[in-house]
Chains A and B, each alone.
Chain A
């Protein structure tokens, strides 16, 4: 962010500069530190404590993490949630990105009319609350209403219908696809913007060389938007490993059937707040949050150190 500054400000007396910085930066830094950074640090600190029935806290070091990863009562649901979360993420990567890229590719073709209309319509679900989207799909897929089964019957595939959200085998993938349906607008928009930024001369040169639109897309445009695709992937990673609203609003805190849709967000909520089966446990909740923090950090580091560097080197 540091830009060369005009010499007028460089000559400012130090006391005056300090005053200005305090005035301009003070409010943002104070609120951000107090309500964002401090809670994160305090949560991590809390994860090394335990509280007894009277509410008194005592330091236990890493014992909470040992319990979480080693005690079957905790580790089984934890690994289940982590595994489900991975599936949730893989479905996003395998469906959301290709669909987003394809739509962006179609929208950026020369001479396509009504672009603005299509963009507006396709981005609409992304603007809605996850709760509303989840519940609406819950109704649509419900065998009670019969809209989904009716639609399948209309195209001759009626026998394929099953109460997908209710079955242990398909609930998680169905929820992932609902989430993909809602958020496909983000990769579409970001990749679309990146495609528009490709210099016209490059495309023209390829066309003069006799390449068709299809090959231009795969051989020229796609490699050039790889940095955007990896940015979208890391955004998806952070959002997925922090997701909660969709599962909670469709399946409740217990993430049924039989915890088949439990992801880290719902596991964290249950641990922290409790539910029908267990009492809330803030210190264990803090431990789960800390583990989630490190998982997200790991993803971010992988992105920064591996993906981003390599793409810079080969694509530009």
Chain B
């Protein structure tokens, strides 16, 4: 490497490091200070907690004055059930659209793709009316139904691309052996779609976990709040109690960060794969 190249390489790394700091700095700052006593939060915000400033008082307050564990379990239930249904129904529809020739298949594909671009949020007034008249208002079921409808178009689009890449011989060989179509899908094709899960997760599952709008509109009682809404309301109430606020923020951040770090390789591969051309 020549001196010129080395200088340039150092320059590139300096810019990337600077931006990385800008990206994680604020998150680190919040998480770090959530473990400190109040005086240290204000006195020396930039130093990590040490033996004299370490404190879990914020976390104690959050556990005492909010149903944070209930919010977590609500979010988990809603996200996991929605994810399972989005993947199952999405894969089934993607299979039918790519594999079978029938009249109107292009029109149907277009109809399904409306939902990729037009946000379902704009139908909120009617969604609330529907849920009220169906008696589903303020239930997790209402959230799941809306999220499945919201996630399906994108997942069908992504999964169709994956299904097209599966070699045709595989299914035709099974067909010649007289295997029924449903078994071809569930036993031959579906297992091959596992790498697509990460891509679908980035585009449909993460927005579900993070959503504020539909919980705000469709759930009114504390027992059906998700983490995002529960923490948002908690922050509003305890805005002057910095320990609690920082602790609540950290509790919303940490699970996402842990899962993200574990899965980041697959998630990023999913994001940069053929999903968006």
List residues of A whose CB falls within 8 A of some B CB: 1-3, 5-6, 8-10, 12, 17, 20-21, 23-25, 27-29, 31-32, 34-40, 42-43, 46, 103, 106-107, 109, 111-112, 114, 116, 118-125, 127-132, 135-137, 139-140, 145-147, 150, 181, 189-190, 192-193, 196, 228, 231, 238, 242, 244-245, 248-249, 252, 272-273, 282, 285-286, 289-290, 292-293, 296-297, 300
Contacts and interface: CB of A to CB of B under 8 A. Distances in A.
B210 interface: yes
A154 B257 CA distance: 29
Interface of B: 9, 12-13, 15-16, 19-20, 22-24, 26-27, 29-30, 41-42, 45-46, 85, 88-90, 92-93, 95-102, 105-106, 108-109, 111-112, 114-115, 117-130, 145-146, 148-150, 152-153, 156, 160, 164, 168, 171-172, 175-176, 181-182, 185, 206, 209-213, 216-217, 228, 231-232, 235-236, 242, 245-246, 249, 252-253, 256-257, 260-261, 264-265, 268, 271-273, 276
Contact of A300 (B13, B26, B117): B117
B29 A147 contact: yes
11 contacts: A2-B109, A24-B95, A24-B185, A25-B108, A27-B89, A28-B89, A124-B23, A130-B212, A181-B22, A252-B236, A289-B123
Contacts of A181: 22-23
Given A31-B145, A39-B120, A231-B276, A2 B105 contact: yes
A129 B46 CA distance: 24
Contact of A32 (B105, B152, B181): B152
Given A28-B92, A289-B124, A131 B212 contact: yes
B172 A120 contact: no
A292 B148 contact: no
B119 A296 contact: yes
Nearest to A27: B89
Given A106-B16, A228-B276, A252-B236, 11 more contacts: A9-B101, A24-B92, A38-B123, A106-B12, A120-B264, A121-B23, A130-B210, A132-B253, A145-B42, A189-B268, A285-B124
A193 B152 contact: no
Contacts of B41: 145
Nearest to A117: B20
User: Chain B at the A interface: mostly helix, strand, loop or mixed?
Assistant: helix
Contacts of B90: 28
- Among A5, A29, A36, A103, the most chain B Cβ lie within 10 Å of the Cβ of A36
Contacts of A300: 117
A139 B122 contact: no
A193 B209 CA distance: 25
A36 B115 contact: yes
Contact of A140 (B29, B105, B211): B29
B167 to A, nearest CB: 11
